[in-house]
Structure 1
């Protein structure tokens, strides 16, 4: 029996219409959809994004929803990734093609990379379909170009002392999940005396999307802040 293929699909920041044509074609044909959840009590956001595409299918498919909790314990996380990869490998061994869906792009701050390494080590075929990243989606929503000419962009996944050390070397900083670190971020940005624009976007491309000047302070998880320094 021919083994199945793992397809990592970036589903974009939130709006189903931002799925690529290639992603839609894959979602319409695979036998298994893998949509990790951050908690057993929370539905998969990635699955909700692709659900309209899946609803248009006239055949049967299987859905896997492994738990990938938002924790810092690497040893514990390794166990969750191992378990998920094991279940996925069994489906692939049975000859089923499997799509692993993930917010944004599969190769940018995505849990897909962890299971992909495990599946690749088992010699299964892997295909990766890129998706619209949250930061490019936010820039489009806010109408702010994040790079012009030879400007340097810095993508920041976490606010800590590293950001302050490199702030002077970048022209545009895209800081993700800023609602958890807004006060610390505001202090770091204030230390740089260059003129700047600060734009925050919450729930990019979704129905409750919000764009505003300044820093995000109301604890929305999907919050991104763009800090763009002006030419002197």
Structure 2
């Protein structure tokens, strides 16, 4: 029986290929299988577009096994569970034949990543290594040339605005609002009118060629939109 392969969960950063870590590049230059989930058959994976210059530069590129499973953007937990199970079983088949697999994901694998669900299903049965990547919110701060937090400030990373907002704002000095495209104007106004709010800016497509920095909340909200909210002590 062949020795089992190793699973790498690789964070590919927010968009700029040059922001891939040296370790990520090294693995992607040699791994025989790359898993690149996408939301539908018609859409290209953004994560794949980031690593393409690396993998297409390989001498053995034609031999590379590129697998693009569909991870639909739905909220049905039962259906999502089926998707994660199917993807995990597919990865396990490659690992069982001794082939290493790189699962690429936007930003960092430990922050709101679909990789984490596959990781949990395979953990303990296979050798797994997670390679961190640059997050969208740190890239956004860099694009604005401003610090996110200083000294004893508290940074909160929030997936969406909901009824937890008041508690989050009470104890935070800065909020990184992920998936800003899903939030409602009514709640955005609540943040804008908060007496502690000092600055709000949004970044669309951070580090990509079409990057756009906007003061306040973004009215048109592409999928890759992150909002940073700064609050007084």
TM-score exceeds 0.5: yes
Q: Distance in 1 between matches of 2:77 and 2:102?
A: 25
Which residue number in structure 2 is paired with residue 37 of structure 1?
A: 38
**1:201, distance to aligned residue in structure 2 (A):** 0.3
Q: Which moved more, 1:180-189 or 1:221-230?
A: 180-189
Which residue number in structure 2 is paired with residue 65 of structure 1?
A: 68
Question: Per the alignment, do residues 50 and 193 of structure 1 end up closer, same or farther by CA in structure 2, a change over 3 Å counting?
Answer: same
CA shift digits 1:101-152 (9 cap, x unpaired): 000001111000000111114x110011100011111111111211101001
Alignment of 1:85-100 (within 5 A): 85-100=88-103
Q: Distance in 1 between matches of 2:77 and 2:59?
A: 41
The total of aligned residue pairs comes to: 230
**1:182, distance to aligned residue in structure 2 (A):** 4.6
Alignment of 1:196-211 (within 5 A): 196-211=198-213
Question: Pairwise CA RMSD of aligned residues?
Answer: 1.2
Which residue number in structure 2 is paired with residue 215 of structure 1?
A: 217
Which residue number in structure 2 is paired with residue 151 of structure 1?
A: 153
Name stretches of at least 5 consecutive residues in structure 1 with no aligned partner: none
The question of whether the paired residues in 1 share the 8 Å contact of 2:160 and 2:182 is answered with no
The question of whether the paired residues in 2 share the 8 Å contact of 1:164 and 1:188 is answered with no
Which residue number in structure 2 is paired with residue 113 of structure 1?
A: 116
**1:219, distance to aligned residue in structure 2 (A):** 2.4
The question of whether the paired residues in 1 share the 8 Å contact of 2:25 and 2:54 is answered with yes
In the superposition, the TM-score normalised over structure 1's length comes to: 0.96
Which residue number in structure 2 is paired with residue 20 of structure 1?
A: 21
Which residue number in structure 1 is paired with residue 51 of structure 2?
A: 50
Q: Distance in 2 between matches of 1:126 and 1:49?
A: 22
Question: Per the alignment, do residues 187 and 31 of structure 1 end up closer, same or farther by CA in structure 2, a change over 3 Å counting?
Answer: same
Alignment of 1:134-213 (within 5 A): 134-213=136-215
3-state SS, counterpart of residue 199 of structure 2:
strand
The question of whether the paired residues in 2 share the 8 Å contact of 1:179 and 1:217 is answered with no
Which residue number in structure 1 is paired with residue 77 of structure 2?
A: 74
The question of whether the paired residues in 2 share the 8 Å contact of 1:182 and 1:216 is answered with no
Name stretches of at least 5 consecutive residues in structure 2 with no aligned partner: none
**1:191, distance to aligned residue in structure 2 (A):** 4.2
In the superposition, the TM-score normalised over structure 2's length comes to: 0.95
